[in-house]
Amino acid sequence: MLVGAPGSGKGTQAKRLVEKYNIPQLSTGDLLRQAIKDKTELGLKAEEFMNAGQLVPDDLIMGLIEVKLAEDAFQNGWILDGFPRTLPQAEGLNQLLEKMSKKLRHVILLDVPGKAIVERIVGRRSCPSCGAVHHVSFSPPKVKGVCDTCGDILVQRSDDNEEKVRVRFGQYESETASVIPYFEPSGIVSKVDGKQGADEVFSAIIGILEG
């Protein structure tokens, strides 16, 4: 499980781990955005919260997670990206895994200060077609405003402006941070300095998983 504030690099590292270990990534953010795009009942409800820069309520998340973990693709392992985000979600996950006779083996905290988080997210640009992500300063596209992968026009997500980012970071500090103490007694929590480059962060994570 990868834990960290919005913009700490969870998605980037999750994708690298998927490639290395050939196990699927489960990102509630991606699942919810797809539901919004498809205009499902869950998506429409979630959109109201996300547009306000708020976390989606737990009761809209847990059922979706249970369905995904029961799929065949998730039977040989998985990477949780940005879930659980709250203490009730962490407790719900523990109960779900016990029921499914599965075990969470690592919780990795990507530690990045608030000022750096705001800079990372506000400069982020996403491709609505293929999902690729660029940054205006750190990883700009070869052609300004155009996705390197598929050539579509890059956009700034509606919840990636500074005001909403600060709201989300505040929610992370007050809610998501409580997830770490919940798992600490089991001895599976490790902290990684998320201010490092993506390669350094990935090496640190691999060292934890294989050390």
> What letter represents residue 187's amino acid?
G
Query: What does the block give as tokens for 143?
Result: 């052609």
Instruction: Check if the beta carbon of residue 80 is closer than 8 Å to that of residue 2.
Output: yes
Query: What does the block give as tokens for 43?
Result: 């998506």
Name the residue among 89, 91, 73 with its Cα closest to residue 25: 73
Whole-number Å distance between alpha carbons of 163 and 122 = 10
Whole-number Å distance between alpha carbons of 12 and 10 = 6
Helices (H), 52-191: 62-69, 87-99, 114-122, 162-174, 179-183
SS3 154: coil
Positions annotated as catalytic residues are: 10, 85, 124, 157, 168
